[in-house]
């Protein structure tokens, strides 16, 4: 939908005009998966699709949440904004952000009518939830005049996910949605939140996202299980390295010296992935800066193998897309992206091979899974903003 169409939808829903239109993008992570909550490096970029939030004041002292993607309308009194709604209610994502402002002493005393629409494919692992959180945080930061920077808005979104959605996510998704920059990816240290925008110059190569249409469910427990398994590995490593703050501090050589302290086999594999993935991400960014896109692509493929074998978050759908992509001559690299358990892969594909990629990968995937995938040639975009 265009901004004009969204404004018309708002007027139709509320019988008055929208006063503000905010936008925040989804993201794709090029490499560095399941490292963020372990204090490691990630390398995401913001996308051109995301979540729109239209707002206007009302005289009723209530917040009204309406989404063109969801059937129900939710109306909340201003004195109830720190109380989560029932589990799995979509309004918990924006509400959790608003609650963070209230908890920090910024009272919401004005009622607002809100209309939300997103064109991030739901369940694709491209951070539709983070886009919704960040657009809400950005909007209320502007309307309440609280003056928080984009890093703080990302933290507000992350806290919403923890406290209202029940997912113990890292900071990457919200950070990318807040800090995105056109034609750049974000090399982010998730421990210190130090980051740099790195130009993504892909001469004759495109970033192609492939949607399994097998939706991932972060709140199904599998994601939180991985967080707990990493924590167990860290606790056991601390018996020999008491100073260890997080898994991502370890080099691969350091890990090999002390990995026997991890007595739980599953936790050991999880930790091995994290340590290796941090090294792969660092190496991949160095390769990109040096113009060595071939090495970058090889590291993407190695990342997928580790996520498949050691972290066990891929499954038939993601593995099929990645493995079929590896067979195409013009594919430099392909891997799952996001939390896993479904969702999307991200691939680097030479321009002349894109049609072959779509045709051959799509046909093989459909034969194996019975599902028709979708492909998006990604545009790397700016972060949250008012339109």
Residue 95 CA to residue 67 CA, distance in Å, equals: 13
3-state secondary structure of 36: helix
Instruction: Annotate 155-168 with DSSP letters as a single string.
Output: HHHHHHIIIII---
The count of other CB atoms within 10 Å of the CB of residue 315 is 17
Residue 158 CA to residue 129 CA, distance in Å, equals: 10
3-state secondary structure of 86: coil
Residue 262 CA to residue 24 CA, distance in Å, equals: 41
- Angle CA(5)–CA(96)–CA(91) in degrees, nearest 5? 45
List the structure tokens of 273.
């992935």
3-state secondary structure of 43: coil
C-alpha dihedral, 76 to 77 to 81 to 84, nearest 10°:
-50
List the structure tokens of 239.
């018996």
Active site residue 173: yes
The burial class, CB within 10 Å (0-12 / 13-18 / 19+), for 312 is: middle
DSSP β-ladder status, 111-118 and 62-67: parallel
C-alpha dihedral, 264 to 269 to 274 to 278, nearest 10°:
140
C-alpha distances (whole Å) from 74 to each of 17, 64, 85, 115, 134 are 19, 6, 10, 11, 19
Residue 82 CA to residue 358 CA, distance in Å, equals: 46
- The answer to whether the CB of 246 falls within 8 A of the CB of 233 is no
Which is catalytic among the residues 36, 113, 173, 310? 173
- The answer to whether the CB of 332 falls within 8 A of the CB of 340 is no
How far is residue 350 CA from its own chain's centroid? 25
List the structure tokens of 173.
């998704």
List residues with catalytic annotation. Answer: 173
């Amino acid at each position: 939908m265009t901004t004009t169409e969204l404004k018309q939808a708002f007027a139709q829903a509320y019988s008055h005009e929208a006063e503000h239109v905010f936008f925040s993008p989804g993201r794709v992570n090029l490499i560095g998966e399941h490292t963020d909550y372990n204090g490691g490096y990630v390398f995401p970029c913001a996308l051109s699709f995301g979540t729109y939030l239209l707002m206007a004041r009302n005289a009723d002292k209530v917040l009204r949440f309406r989404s063109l993607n969801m059937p129900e309308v939710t109306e909340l009194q201003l004195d109830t904004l720190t109380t989560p709604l029932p589990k799995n209610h979509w309004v918990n994502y924006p509400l959790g952000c608003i609650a963070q402002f209230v908890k920090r002493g910024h009272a919401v005393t004005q009622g607002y009518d809100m209309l939300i629409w997103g064109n991030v494919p739901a369940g694709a692992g491209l951070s539709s939830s983070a886009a919704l959180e960040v657009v809400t945080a950005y909007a209320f930061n502007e309307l309440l005049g609280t003056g928080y920077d984009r890093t703080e808005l990302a933290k507000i979104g992350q806290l919403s996910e923890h406290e209202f959605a029940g997912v113990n996510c890292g900071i990457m998704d919200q950070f990318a949605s807040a800090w995105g920059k056109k034609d750049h990816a974000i090399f982010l240290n998730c421990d210190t939140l130090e980051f740099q925008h790195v130009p993504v110059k892909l001469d004759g190569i495109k970033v192609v996202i492939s949607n399994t249409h097998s939706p991932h469910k972060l709140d199904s427990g599998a994601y939180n299980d991985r967080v707990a398994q990493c924590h167990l590995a860290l606790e056991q490593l601390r018996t020999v390295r008491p100073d260890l703050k997080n898994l991502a501090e370890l080099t691969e050589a350091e890990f090999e010296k002390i990995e026997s302290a991890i007595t739980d086999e599953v936790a050991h594999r999880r930790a091995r992935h994290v340590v290796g993935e941090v090294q792969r991400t660092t190496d991949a960014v160095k390769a990109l800066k040096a113009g060595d896109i071939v090495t970058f692509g090889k590291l993407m493929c190695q990342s997928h193998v580790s996520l498949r074998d050691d972290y066990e978050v891929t499954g038939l759908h993601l593995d099929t897309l990645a493995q079929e992509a590896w067979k195409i001559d013009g594919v430099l690299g392909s891997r799952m992206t996001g939390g896993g358990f479904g969702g999307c892969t991200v691939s680097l594909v030479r321009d002349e091979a894109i049609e072959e990629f779509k045709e051959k990968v799509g046909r093989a995937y459909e034969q194996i899974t019975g599902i028709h995938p979708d492909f998006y040639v990604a545009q790397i975009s700016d972060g949250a903003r008012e339109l």
